[in-house]
Every structure is written in C-alpha cells, then in structure tokens.
Amino acid sequence: NIYVCPSGEVAALAKSAVAFDPSASDLPAMAESPEQFRGQSRLPRFAEPLRYDLVLRPDLAACTFSGSASAAVAVSSPTRFLVLNAAELAVDRSSIRFQDWAPTEVAQFEEDEILVLGFDRELPLGEGVLAMDFTGTLNDQMRGFYRSKYEYNGEARNMAVTQFEAADARRCFPCWDEPAFKAKFKITLEVPAELVALSNMPVVKETVCGPLKTVYYEESPLMSTYLVAIVVGLFDYIESSTLEGTKVRVYTQVGKTSQGKFALDVGVKSLDLFKDYFATPYPLPKLDMIAIPDFAAGAMENYGLVTYRESALLYDEQLSSASNKQQVAITVAHELAHQWFGNLVTMEWWTHLWLNEGFASWVSYLAVESIFPEWNNWTQFLDETTSGLRLDALAESHPIEVDVNHASEIDAIFDSISYDKGASVIRMLQSYLGAERFQKALASYIKKYAYSNAKTEDLWAVLEEETGEPVKDLMTTWTKQQGYPVIYAKLNGQDLELEQAQFLSDGSSGPGMWIVPMTACCGSYDLNKKFLLKGKTDTMHIKDFAASQSGQNFWIKLNIDQNGFYRVKYDDELAAGLENAIKAKKLSLMDMIGIVEDSYALSVACKQTLTSLLRLLNAYRHESDYTVLSHVTSVCLSVNKISTDANPDLSSDIKQLLIKLLLLAAKRVGWDPKDGESHLDVMLRSLLLIALVKLGHDETIKEGIRRFHIFLEDRKTPLLPPDNRKAAYLAVMRTVSTSNRTGYDVLLKIYKETSEAQEKSRILGVLFFSNLCNTAQLSDELVHPINTLLFLGSLSSCPDKDIVVQALNLMLTDEVRNQDAFYVLGGISLEGREAAWAWLKDNWDHVVKTWPSSSLISDFVNSTVSPFTSEEKAAEVSEFFATRVKPSFERALKQSLERVRISARWIDSIKSEPSLAQTVQQLLLQE
C-alpha cells in the first residue's frame, strides 16, 4: 500500500530554515582583561572541568550555606584566564588557588553570572586544580540551593533542596554551568547528624562529630551540572529493586511512606522497561525519588535523585483521584526516561532542549501504555498533540530548535512547543519509520553518545544511517521552522486534491512549507495509503481506492490516528462523509478526536462557521468514551465562553445545547462509582460533572451541593469520592457571593485543615499539572483538554468579583505556597476577569518580586490577559506593560495578546453568521 508521491520539489525548505550553530564562544584565550568575557552567550572552552570535589555545609536554621569546591581542569590553549559561572555567591577571594597560584584579578559579573580569574602568568597546558571557598543563602525561590518548609510533630522545620535546571547550579557552587561541560562529581555534605542527606550517588562513608555528621558520596560518572542534586531533611523511605538489582527508594515525609508505594512500583517497572527499550542498563548504582513540599516544576530528573512536588509523586487510595494516579505514573515514567534520554545522553545546548523533553514525554506514554494498557494511553497522548497544535498556531510561537543567548532565556522554552510539539513530531517520525526500526536506531544513538552530548542533527544522522530514510530533510522542516500546515482536501472526480498552507489561528496563512507524512484511508482502515507530501500541492488518485465505497459508507480520513502534526480541512462533501462515519461509529477514537479538534481550530481561525462546528459536535452526542469526550468537552467549554461574549442573546440557548450534548454520557455514568468500572469511566464521570457545573446545569449543581453537605458531615462518605470532589467544590462556589460567603469559607477551612497536597490543589484550582501550565497552558483556549477542566480553580471560579479578589489575595499569604499560585490563577471565572486584571495591576510590583521565575510570572500574565476578547482590552494591556515588560515573560505576553485579538476576530465573525440562531434551535429540538 505504499505509494510514493510522484511530484513535488524536494525540500528547499531545509535551506530556508534558520541555520543556527550555537558553537561555543570562540573568544581568544589570550584576552587582555576580564571585561572581554562579558556579554557572551557561552563560556569559552579553553579550560574545561574534568572532576569536581565539592563540600557543602548547609545551616538549616540560619538558611545559609558555606562550601569548598575544587575542580580538576584541563587547559587546552595558552591563557591567563579561567572563566566559569557563579551567581549570588560570596566567593572568598583569598581562598582562590589554581595549583599554587593566587589570581591577580578576580572579577564577578552578576549580570553575566560569570567569575573571571586572571593570573599573572600563562597557565600550563594540561590538568590543574582550581580551588575556592564560598558562602550563599538558602533562598526561598525554589531554585539553586533553597529551603523548603515542612511540619514535623506539629513543629515548623526547614529542609535544604537543590533545583539546578536550567542554569542554577551556579547559585550553589562556582562551576562551568552548561550541559556540554560534563564532569565527574564527588560530593561531601556536613549536616546535622539526625537528618537524612541524599545526593546523586550512594554514600561511601559517614563520620559523626558532635551534633554534625560528614557524609561522603561515591564519585559520579560524567554528568552535566544541571543534574547535580542534594536534599537534606527528615524523611522515611520504602525500597524495592529492579530485575537487575538496582535499589530504588521513594522518600516521603515521616509517616507517609504508604503514599509512595504506587510511584515505587511504577518506577521499578519503568526502569526495567527503559533498560530494554534503550538496550542499555540503568547507568547508576541507585535511584531515589523524593517528594519536596516546595517545588517550582512538577518534577526534576536529577541523576539518581529525582525530586517531585508532592502531588506528582504521592498516591493514596482513599484521597487521590484517578487522574492524580495517571499524573503520578506519567511523571515518574517521564523523569526516569530522562535517566537515559537527557542524563546519559545530554543535549549539547539548550537549543536542543526538546530532545530531552520531547523524548521523555513521548517515551513516558510508551512506558505507561505497557504498564497500564487499560488506560488507553496513546489516545490520551492526543492531549499533548492538541496543546502543541494550539500553541503553535500563534504567530508568536517559536521553532522547536530555538536560539538561546542568555541563561535568562532558557526557562521560557520549557513550553508546549518543546514538550508537546516535540513529543508529537517524534510520534510522527516513529509512525513513518516503523516502531521496530525506530527503537533500534534510538538504542544505537544512546550507545553512540552515552556520557556525552548530542545535537538534533546527530539524532537525525543516526536514524538516517539505520533506516536509509531521508530523516534529516523531513524532520528539519518540523524542528527548524515554527508552525505547521493545514492540508486542504478537495474531491475532484477520481482525484483527491491536496494543498498545504501554514495554519495560523488569526486566519492568515504563514509562509511555511513542510514535508508532510500523509496517510489516508477510505471507508475502512484496511484500505489505506501513505506518502510524503513534498510540495505545495499534490493529487492522490483514489479510483481503485474508493471504488468499493459508495453512498453512506463513503468517507476519507486523512492523517490516520492523528499521527501527523498537522490539521486537515475537508471540502463539504468529505466533511459530510466523516460526520456520518462518526455517527455510525466507523472511526477510531483518535480520528474522532482529530476531527473535532481540527474543526474547532478552523472555526477559531474563522475558516469555518461556529454553526458547522455545533452541527459536528452534535454528531458526538452518543459517544461514551472518555478520551473522545474530554476533547469534545474542552471544545464545548470554549464555545460556551466565546458565545457569552459574541452573542449574549443566544448564549443561554447555546449553553442548553452544549448541556444536551454531554447529558447522555453524564446520565450513563451518574454520580456514583460502579463496581468494577474502568479507570476511564471514573475519569469520565469527573470530567462530565465538572463540565456540567461549569455550563450551569441546575440538576448537577444541586446534586453537587447536596453531596458536599453530606461530605462535610462525614469526610469518608462514599457519596463524594475524591474523583467527584472538584465538581462539588465548583458547584458550591457558584452559590457564593459577597453576601453569602459560607461556601467559600467552608472550602477554605477544608483547605487549611488538610495536609494532602492533592486535596489542597483540588481546592485551590486543580490537579497538579506542572511546568506546562506556564506559558500557553492556562488559558482555556489553549489548555490540554483535561486541564481546561482541572485547572478551573475552585476558589477563584466564583462569579462574584469580590470573592475572586479574595481568592487572589489569599495567594499572597502564607496559606498558599508560592509553588501553588498557578492553581488559583487557572481558575479565574469569566465574570472575574476584569477584577483579576485590576488586581494584577495593583499588585504588579509585589508579584514580580515574589515570582521572579519565567514560568511563574508568565502564568500571571497569561491567565489574566488571555481571557479578554476585545481589541480595546488588548490595547489597554499593551499600554500597561509597555514600560514593564521583561525578557522572562515577553513571549508569554505577546502570545496572550495574540489570543485576545484572535478571540476578538472570532467574535466578529460569529456575529455575522446568518444561520447560527436557527441551527441552535433546530439542534435543541432534535431527538
């Protein structure tokens, strides 16, 4: 069935893509003054670290630390200077020695985060040892070496934790803090004797002296600085081991180890699985996973010591929901995949971050699919593809391979492009090459670059060599240019005419061109074709293909199972065929998802009417699958929002229609769990209840409130299991107003009482979803379907403005950990958006200071700006930020403004749809 496309120019595209080679700074080793090393994007390479010997002494009471570092350095060209990174550290100048020489010049440039040491003579070529002492603060910013707070026996305690990715090892010790400077690390800690002290490697020796102990760790293999880790605090652990005998532990707060069992089990299974998949054993002697109460991201793959926020690691049968469970499994698998993809083989520079994150994301689905086949995990993968496609439809998106010139730019690229688009183009490539060939090639890539670094091209070269396919030309069009195509498909007699154009949500067509792996099937999945679309247009002859199909059963689906990272716009005849196929249940779940997502996106871009989108949605009325309905629901909620602004008169009818669409499935699952029901049905119940509450379905709201009251009397009542609580909390919040704040106060009380992170986040807003909630993800427009629902903060979801402001103020208090702010932000109601925006303006100075990191400050901007839908508002926001914008959230701001303008344009177009009202009435009446 393989059909190679006859026409089409082979990629001139590769050429048009930006050529970027971030090779190391080629500054002369013979520079004259330290100043000459300023303003560079990378450190010079004339001296490179080989081994670090690092001693750290954290003082948990004073929140400070002192340290001594000595690094064996290889000097490869004649120089008088050593240049390395350091930030927010007080380096003791008198302690600095290279061999026996003290430097004659010591310059610390805070803005460049470098330390330049000048000597009065040329350093001898070859190996020498650089040593120095320094001190620093255990900060509260969840980066570098920081303190996190917890309670032990009712007493407040501090723990010391590191988070070094992307460029914050330099805040803990002076070092060559770039991924390509791999070195061996020998770490020693001096800590209070009663505490647990962990690092990447196992302990070799411990000596106790009075109240302190000194813990010596084994020397690590070659690794990058951003993967170094230390945790010091009070913990309990549970332990298990892999088939090969690697010891795996999960550390939790004292007394909570039972909540670590699930992650331990998934962890051990994932290690066994990845060892086979990458055909390489787990590289270290042990693996620890640990839950940290204050944690900026969701989890961090430090070599041999993986850190997690509590909600991403701990699972409790009684307290966690099915989606908590899934999130834990995916997160564990993702971080453990990094132990190979990222830690053993590391990106050469941050431009290739997607190699780390895209691959870990993709491969985590592979692992979870094999451990929990009943979760339909690959269908759920389309959540990733969807959020990648939604973000990448913005003109303010960026290519997967992105230029990085300063450490401060790195954080902002941990976004849906690196993760979701990255993972999706990998899936596309795997499906094009075939699973087996792909795996074999990946295993050779890992072998070839183990303990070393690789660029995107290096991976393509190995894949090309192993498979003989034009991998580089094909993939370059996807990783070096931003955006993706929409394929216009038109039936012309016996021909299917195809044309590609860059898809943008603002309705314009960008200049991009791709080599598109096309697949098509007709009337049945057995009749399929596969080819590369290389030019602007092409024609597929469907005579033999379609001959057996006719009438009702004639349908053509392109992009089978949504393996490709593109959208399809069908002509009316083809679209009608697919609508019938959906009703007749002829399509795969993935294809049903793809059709509704593409249609929604085309509607936002005003390439098709809202009227036709509503008709299509109606075809899903009898659907009962969670994965499909999660996308349908997300589209419904977005339609609900836009119609409130676009057509207030019609919006209550549209609401009724959307409720009607979801009600059949909701009735089927009801409120009460059924014996032996599937994991996905449990997720479906939670999803539909939340959606119905959001849409204002009276019966569901009343029932939610009724069950909430029972729950207040009996926290263990089977009438409100954790899976359904979110819906009940949202229902309660709908009743809250300034004059009746009981519901808010009661929820707040539950929030304060519980020590469970998942319950806290459920109330604050959501289920954990990690760093990915930075940038794109918070606005409903662009969120993972599942997050659209889960992100709805309960507290801030109230229609009453004053209550929204109260919820936002709560975020500024000690009640909410800074790590959890985005839960509140994600929930802001449509009615609350003006109040939230006013609040942000009022509190801006404080907010920038408290949440300085790129992803967190981007959350604030995105979640308050994106809900607006008018040009005037966009102008007002631009004006406010004109004097306040910073590189850390500049892209997030531009993207948010673009979304506002896209909504404004969509609204205009909806207003002029002639048959919208009539169609809504028709569909409402239809049986």
Q: Point out the annotated binding site.
A: 334, 338, 357
Smallest distance from the beta carbon of 347 to ligand BES, in angstroms? 11
Binding at 685: pick from Zn ion, ligand BES, none (beta carbon under 5-8 Å per type): none
- Kindly indicate which of the ranges 99-107, 145-153, 356-364, 381-389 contains the residues binding Zn ion, using the contact rule CB under 5 A: 356-364
Q: How far apart are CA 218 and CA 198, in angstroms?
A: 12
Cα–Cα distances in angstroms (integers) from residue 691 to residues 185, 741, 872, in the given order: 51, 23, 30
389 is an interface residue for Zn ion by CB under 5 A: no
Q: With contact defined as beta carbons under 8 Å apart, do 308 and 290 qualify?
A: yes
Q: Is the dihedral of CA 52, 57, 58, 62 positive or negative?
A: negative
Among 248, 330, 423, 757, binds ligand BES (CB under 6 A): 330
Which C-beta is closer to ligand BES: that of 311 or that of 476? 311
DSSP 303-344: TTEEEEEHHHH---TTT--HHHHHHHHHHHHHHHHHTTBTTT
Total residues interacting with ligand BES, rule: CB under 6 A: 19
331 is an interface residue for ligand BES by CB under 6 A: yes
Q: How far apart are CA 29 and CA 12, in angstroms?
A: 39
Element holding 171 (H helix, E strand): none
For 593-735, strand residue ranges (E) read: none
414 is an interface residue for ligand BES by CB under 6 A: yes
Cα–Cα distances in angstroms (integers) from residue 327 to residues 266, 314, 333, 848, in the given order: 12, 10, 10, 30
Long-range contacts of 406-410 (CB under 8 A, 24+ apart): 406/41, 406/887, 407/113, 407/166, 407/167, 408/854, 408/887, 408/888, 409/887, 410/166, 410/167, 410/350, 410/353
Tell me how far the alpha carbon of residue 554 is from its chain's centroid. 39
Phi-psi region of 491 (alpha: psi -120 to 50; beta: other; left: phi over 0): beta
Calculated CA dihedral for residues 650, 656, 657, 661, nearest 10 degrees: 160
Which C-beta is closer to Zn ion: that of 162 or that of 735? 162
Among 302, 771, 788, 919, binds ligand BES (CB under 6 A): 771
Q: Give Cβ neighbours of residue 347 (< 8 Å, ≥ 6 apart).
A: 179, 353, 355, 356, 453, 454, 455
Question: Among the residues of 407-470, which ranges form H helices?
Answer: 407-410, 416, 422-433, 435-449, 456-467
Smallest distance from the beta carbon of 783 to ligand BES, in angstroms? 14
Q: How far apart are CA 913 and CA 907, in angstroms?
A: 10
- Kindly indicate which of the ranges 78-86, 297-305, 469-477, 495-503 contains the residues binding ligand BES, using the contact rule CB under 6 A: 297-305
Q: How far apart are CA 369 and CA 109, in angstroms?
A: 48
Tell me whether strands 528-533 and 516-522 are parallel, antiparallel or unpaired: antiparallel
Which C-beta is closer to ligand BES: that of 34 or that of 358? 358
Smallest distance from the beta carbon of 754 to ligand BES, in angstroms? 23
Binding at 591: pick from ligand BES, Zn ion, none (beta carbon under 5-8 Å per type): none
R_g of the chain computed on alpha carbons:
28
Smallest distance from the beta carbon of 332 to Zn ion, in angstroms? 12
Question: Among the residues of 695-798, which ranges form H helices?
Answer: 698-713, 722-734, 742-753, 757-764, 785-790
Among 17, 89, 161, 299, binds ligand BES (CB under 6 A): 299
Among 113, 165, 294, 415, binds ligand BES (CB under 6 A): 165
Smallest distance from the beta carbon of 899 to ligand BES, in angstroms? 22
- Kindly indicate which of the ranges 326-334, 555-563, 625-633, 652-660 contains the residues binding ligand BES, using the contact rule CB under 6 A: 326-334
Binding at 424: pick from Zn ion, ligand BES, none (beta carbon under 5-8 Å per type): none
Among 44, 136, 293, 298, binds ligand BES (CB under 6 A): 298
357 is an interface residue for ligand BES by CB under 6 A: yes
Total residues interacting with Zn ion, rule: CB under 5 A: 2
Q: With contact defined as beta carbons under 8 Å apart, do 774 and 834 qualify?
A: no
352 is an interface residue for ligand BES by CB under 6 A: no
Number of alpha helices (DSSP H) and beta strands (DSSP E) in the chain = 32, 29
Smallest distance from the beta carbon of 335 to ligand BES, in angstroms? 5
Binding at 414: pick from Zn ion, ligand BES, none (beta carbon under 5-8 Å per type): ligand BES
Which C-beta is closer to Zn ion: that of 360 or that of 382? 360
Residues contributing to the annotated binding site for Zn(2+): 334, 338, 357
Smallest distance from the beta carbon of 563 to ligand BES, in angstroms? 21
338 is an interface residue for ligand BES by CB under 6 A: yes
Tell me, residue by residue from 715 to 754, as one string, x for binding to ligand BES by CB under 6 A and - for no binding: ----------------------------------------
Which C-beta is closer to ligand BES: that of 166 or that of 592? 166
Q: How far apart are CA 564 and CA 475, in angstroms?
A: 12
Taking Cα atoms as reference points, which of 534, 354, 335 lies closest to residue 459?
Answer: 354
Binding at 297: pick from ligand BES, Zn ion, none (beta carbon under 5-8 Å per type): ligand BES
- Kindly indicate which of the ranges 351-359, 458-466, 844-852, 908-916 contains the residues binding Zn ion, using the contact rule CB under 5 A: 351-359
- Kindly indicate which of the ranges 359-367, 647-655, 792-800, 816-824 contains the residues binding Zn ion, using the contact rule CB under 5 A: 359-367
Smallest distance from the beta carbon of 334 to Zn ion, in angstroms? 5
Q: How far apart are CA 237 and CA 154, in angstroms?
A: 20
Tell me, residue by residue from 360 to 379, as one string, x for binding to ligand BES by CB under 6 A and - for no binding: xx------------------
DSSP 256-297: -GGGGHHHHHHHHHHHHHHHHHTTS--SSSEEEEEEESS-SS
334 is an interface residue for ligand BES by CB under 6 A: yes
Which C-beta is closer to Zn ion: that of 332 or that of 920? 332
Smallest distance from the beta carbon of 227 to ligand BES, in angstroms? 9
Which C-beta is closer to ligand BES: that of 301 or that of 409? 301
Smallest distance from the beta carbon of 307 to Zn ion, in angstroms? 12
Which C-beta is closer to Zn ion: that of 198 or that of 360? 360
Which C-beta is closer to ligand BES: that of 426 or that of 636? 426
What six digits make up the tokens of 525? 């999945």
Question: Among the residues of 784-832, which ranges form H helices?
Answer: 785-790, 801-810, 821-826
Residue corresponding to tokens 């195809």:
498
What six digits make up the tokens of 80? 């008088």
Among 290, 772, 789, 811, binds ligand BES (CB under 6 A): 772
Among 60, 142, 166, 902, binds ligand BES (CB under 6 A): 166
Euclidean distance between the first and the last CA atom of the chain, given in angstroms as a whole number:
42
Residue 521 backbone dihedrals phi, psi, to 5 degrees: -140, 160
Among 301, 401, 625, 898, binds ligand BES (CB under 6 A): 301
Among 197, 360, 654, 684, binds Zn ion (CB under 5 A): 360
User: CA angle 571-573-577, nearest 5°?
Assistant: 115
Question: Does residue 88 carry a catalytic annotation?
Answer: no
Which C-beta is closer to ligand BES: that of 302 or that of 797? 302
Which C-beta is closer to ligand BES: that of 179 or that of 564? 179
Binding at 330: pick from Zn ion, ligand BES, none (beta carbon under 5-8 Å per type): ligand BES
Tell me whether strands 126-137 and 144-152 are parallel, antiparallel or unpaired: unpaired
Among 335, 591, 623, 723, binds ligand BES (CB under 6 A): 335
- Out of 178, 335, 464, 597, pick the active-site residue: 335
Smallest distance from the beta carbon of 792 to Zn ion, in angstroms? 25
- Contact residues toward ligand BES (CB under 6 A) are 165-166, 297-301, 330-331, 334-335, 338, 357, 360-361, 414, 770-772
The residues annotated as belonging to the active site are 335
- Contact residues toward Zn ion (CB under 5 A) are 357, 360
